[in-house]
Amino acid sequence: DDDESTEEPRGAGRLIARFFLLPLLVVGAAVGVFLVFNLMTFERRSPRDYLQEVRGGTANRRWQAAFELSRSRPNLPPEERAELTAETLRIFEGLSEKRPEDAQVRRYLVLVLGRLGEPAALPALEAATKDADPDTRLYAIWALGKIGDKAALPTILEASSSEDAGARKMAAYVLGQL
């Protein structure tokens, strides 16, 4: 009877294996499965792919593609950057201020134009500072500052006296940056 109750203490190796190695293997397997599925579903898209989706996708996909494009930072040579700006401008100018489903797309395309930094976008961005959508106006002011062309100064000064407090704040920020 005494032999059964006096069990030898387990080794430290078994304890480490039970409480550290086994959970480590489970976590490692879970991370491995996550990475495999992530690599399987990851798709690399170019800015032109996003613009194509903005041009011809469903209403929901259009704004999402414009959002993804605004987040991307394409490292493009100047001639490709100019082409992308021209294509983005064509799409932006083809969108209606009156259609509610175009409002989000317009917002994000304004951000794209600002990030591209091409002075060719100035007239469209200056017009967008008078857009019916307050977020589009705000993003347009930011984009004008991002481009950094002094020709936009009168438009930014006009926005600094706007009734919209957000537009005034953004105009002050942009004026400080310029």
The closest alpha carbon to 82, from 126, 54, 117, 53, belongs to: 117
Residues 110-144 have pLDDT tens digits of 999 999 989 999 999 999 999 989 999 999 999 99
- Asked whether the whole model's pTM tops 0.95, one would answer no
Q: Could you tell me the end-to-end alpha-carbon distance of the chain, in angstroms, rounded to an integer?
A: 89
E strands, the chain, are none
pLDDT attached to residue 2:
53
Write out the H or E segment, with its range, that includes residue 48.
helix 47-56
Task: Write down the pLDDT at residue 5.
Answer: 55
At 73, list the tokens: 């930072």
pLDDT greater at residue 45 or residue 63: 63
Asked if residue 12 has pLDDT above 80, the reply is no
Measured distance CA(108)–CA(61) in Å, rounded: 13
Tokens of 165: 């407090």
Question: What count of other Cβ atoms lies within 10 Å of the Cβ of residue 146?
Answer: 19
Least confident residue range of 24-28, 68-72, 91-95, 159-163: 68-72
Residue of 53, 81, 83 whose CA lies nearest to 67: 53
